Structure 1
Amino acid sequence: MKTLLLPALLLLALNTMNAQEKETTNETSLETVVIKKQKKIIERKVDRLIYNVENSTASTGGNALDALKSAPMVRVQNEAISIVGKGEVLIMIDDRLQKIPASEVAAFLKTIPSDNIKSIEVITSPPAKYEAEGNNGIINIKLKTAKSNSWNASVGTNYTQRFYAGNGVQGMFNYNHGKLSLQSSVYVEQQKFRSNSQTNTYYQNELWSMDTQSISKNKNLGISLGADYKITDQWTTGVKYLGSFSTENGSSSPLTSRMNYQNSQPNSFISSDTESSNKPNINSLNWFNTIKMDSAKTVLTTDFDFFEYKKDDARDFYGSELDAHMQTLPGTYFSALNSNLNKIHNYSGKADLETKLSWVDLNFGGRFSFTRTDNNFSAYDKETGTTVLNTDQSNTFIYKEYNEALYFSLSRKFNSQWEAKLGLRAEATQTIGFSENRNQTDKNDYIKLFPTAYLTYTMNNNHSFSLNYNRRIRRPDFDYLNPFVVRTSPFYYSEGNPYLKPSIIDNLEFSYIKGQKWTSSLYYSKVSDFGQALSILNPETNVTRNTPMNYADTYQIGFSTSYNFSSVKWWNSFSGFNVNYQNVKSKVPYTASIDGYNAYLYSNNDFTLNKKKTVSLSVNYGLQLPGRYQIFHISTMNILDVTIKVLCLDKKFSVSLTGTDLLNSQRPLISYQSNGIDTNFRNNNYTRGFRLSLSYRFGNNDMKSKDRNFGNEEERNRMNQ
Structure 2
Amino acid sequence: MKKANYLIFLLVPFFCLAQASFKLKGKISSETTPLEWADISVSNSEGKIIYGTTSMKDGSFEINLKKGFYKIGVTLIRFNEFEKEILIEKDIDLGTILLKESATGLKEVIIQSNKKTIEQKTDRLVYNLENNVTTVGGDALSAINTAPGVVVQNNTINILGKGTSRVMIDGRMIELVGEELNNYLKSISASDIKNIEIISNPPSKYEAEGTGGLINIIMKKGVRDSWKNTTTLSYDQNKYGITTLRDNFFYHKNKFRFAASMNVKSGYLNDKDDFKMYFPDGLSHLKSETKVKTENLSGKAALDYDLSERITIGFQFLRDRNNPDFKSDIRIENYNTQNDLDNITLNKSFTDKGSRNQTYNAHMITKLDDLKRKLSFDIDYFDYSSNFNRNFVAKNYMPDMTFIDVNQSGRNVSNQDIKNWSFKADMEHPLQAVNLSYGAKISFTNSESDVLYYNTITGFQELDPNQSNRFRYTENNHALYVNANKNLGESWSFQMGVRLENTHTTGFSETLNQEKVNDYLKLFPTFYASYKKNESNTFSLNYGKRINRPRFDLLNPFRIYINSNSYSEGNPFLIPSFSDNFEFSHSYKEILRTSVFVNSITDGYGVLFTSNPETNTQIITRENYFKSLNYGIGESYSASFTNWWSSENSLYFLGAKTEFIKDINAKPSNSLQIDFSTNNTFLLGKTTKLQIDFMYTTPFKEGLYKVGYASSFDIGFKQDLFNKTMQIAFLANDIFNTSYLKDFTSVVNGVKQVYSQNSSSRFVRLSLVYNFGNKKINVQQRDFGNKEENKRTGSN
Deviates more, 1:160-169 or 1:565-574: 565-574
Q: How far off is 1:45 after superposition?
A: 1.0
- The equivalent of 1:283 in structure 2 is 358
- The equivalent of 1:315 in structure 2 is 390
Determine if contact 2:396/2:404 at 8 Å carries over to the other structure.
yes
Q: How far off is 1:55 after superposition?
A: 4.4
Deviates more, 1:600-609 or 1:423-432: 600-609
Match of 2:329 among 230, 244, 253: 253
| Cα distance change on mapping 1:54 and 1:224 into 2, 3 Å | farther
| Cα distance change on mapping 1:58 and 1:296 into 2, 3 Å | farther
Counterpart Cα distance in 1 of 2:279 and 2:626: 24
Q: Aligned to 1:392, what secondary structure does the other structure show? A: helix
Provide the alpha-carbon RMSD of the alignment: 2.2
1:616 and 2:689 are equivalent in the alignment: yes
- The equivalent of 1:527 in structure 2 is 601
1:343 and 2:417 are equivalent in the alignment: yes
- The equivalent of 1:586 in structure 2 is 660
| Cα distance change on mapping 1:386 and 1:587 into 2, 3 Å | same
1:478 and 2:552 are equivalent in the alignment: yes
Deviations 1:485-524 (A, max 9, x none): 1112110111111111001111111111111111111111
1:465 and 2:539 are equivalent in the alignment: yes
1:207 and 2:283 are equivalent in the alignment: yes
Q: How far off is 1:541 after superposition?
A: 0.6
Determine if contact 2:669/2:701 at 8 Å carries over to the other structure.
no
Determine if contact 1:409/1:421 at 8 Å carries over to the other structure.
yes
- The equivalent of 1:46 in structure 2 is 122
Deviates more, 1:675-684 or 1:615-624: 675-684
Deviations 1:380-407 (A, max 9, x none): 1112111011122211111111000011
Determine if contact 1:184/1:226 at 8 Å carries over to the other structure.
yes
Q: How far off is 1:146 after superposition?
A: 1.0
Q: Aligned to 2:141, what secondary structure does the other structure show? A: helix
Q: How far off is 1:420 after superposition?
A: 1.3
Pairing 1:389-408 to 2, within 5 Å after superposition: 389-408=463-482
Q: Aligned to 2:324, what secondary structure does the other structure show? A: strand
Determine if contact 1:224/1:713 at 8 Å carries over to the other structure.
no
Counterpart Cα distance in 1 of 2:630 and 2:643: 39
Match of 2:242 among 146, 166, 175: 166
1:77 and 2:153 are equivalent in the alignment: yes
Pairing 1:333-412 to 2, within 5 Å after superposition: 333-412=407-486
Counterpart Cα distance in 2 of 1:626 and 1:442: 39
Q: Aligned to 2:323, what secondary structure does the other structure show? A: strand
Determine if contact 2:476/2:505 at 8 Å carries over to the other structure.
yes
Q: Aligned to 2:143, what secondary structure does the other structure show? A: helix
- The equivalent of 2:166 in structure 1 is 90
Identical-residue share of aligned pairs (%): 32
Residue identity in the other structure for 1:338: N
Q: How far off is 1:134 after superposition?
A: 0.3
Q: How far off is 1:38 after superposition?
A: 5.0
1:659 and 2:745 are equivalent in the alignment: no
Q: Aligned to 2:432, what secondary structure does the other structure show? A: coil
- The equivalent of 2:517 in structure 1 is 443
Q: Aligned to 1:54, what secondary structure does the other structure show? A: coil
Q: How far off is 1:270 after superposition?
A: 2.5
- The equivalent of 2:303 in structure 1 is 227
Deviates more, 1:621-630 or 1:538-547: 621-630
Counterpart Cα distance in 2 of 1:340 and 1:249: 15
Count of residue correspondences: 677
Counterpart Cα distance in 2 of 1:589 and 1:351: 45
- The equivalent of 2:634 in structure 1 is 560
1:66 and 2:142 are equivalent in the alignment: yes
Counterpart Cα distance in 2 of 1:690 and 1:324: 39
Residue identity in the other structure for 2:388: D
- The equivalent of 1:493 in structure 2 is 567
Determine if contact 2:194/2:220 at 8 Å carries over to the other structure.
yes
Q: How far off is 1:628 after superposition?
A: 1.6
Q: How far off is 1:701 after superposition?
A: 1.3
Q: Aligned to 1:509, what secondary structure does the other structure show? A: strand
Structure 1 segments unaligned to the other structure (5+ residues) = 1-29, 715-721
Deviates more, 1:440-449 or 1:667-676: 667-676
Structure number with the bigger relative contact order (C-alpha 8 A, sep ≥ 6) is 1
Q: How far off is 1:450 after superposition?
A: 0.6
Counterpart Cα distance in 2 of 1:222 and 1:580: 38
Residue identity in the other structure for 2:673: N
Counterpart Cα distance in 2 of 1:594 and 1:60: 41
1:550 and 2:634 are equivalent in the alignment: no
- The equivalent of 1:683 in structure 2 is 757
Residue identity in the other structure for 1:518: L
Q: How far off is 1:91 after superposition?
A: 1.1
Compute the TM-score of the two structures, normalised by the length of structure 2.
0.82
Counterpart Cα distance in 2 of 1:402 and 1:177: 40
Residue identity in the other structure for 2:606: Q
- The equivalent of 1:429 in structure 2 is 503
Counterpart Cα distance in 1 of 2:134 and 2:432: 43
| Cα distance change on mapping 1:58 and 1:179 into 2, 3 Å | farther
Counterpart Cα distance in 1 of 2:671 and 2:448: 40
Counterpart Cα distance in 2 of 1:229 and 1:374: 37
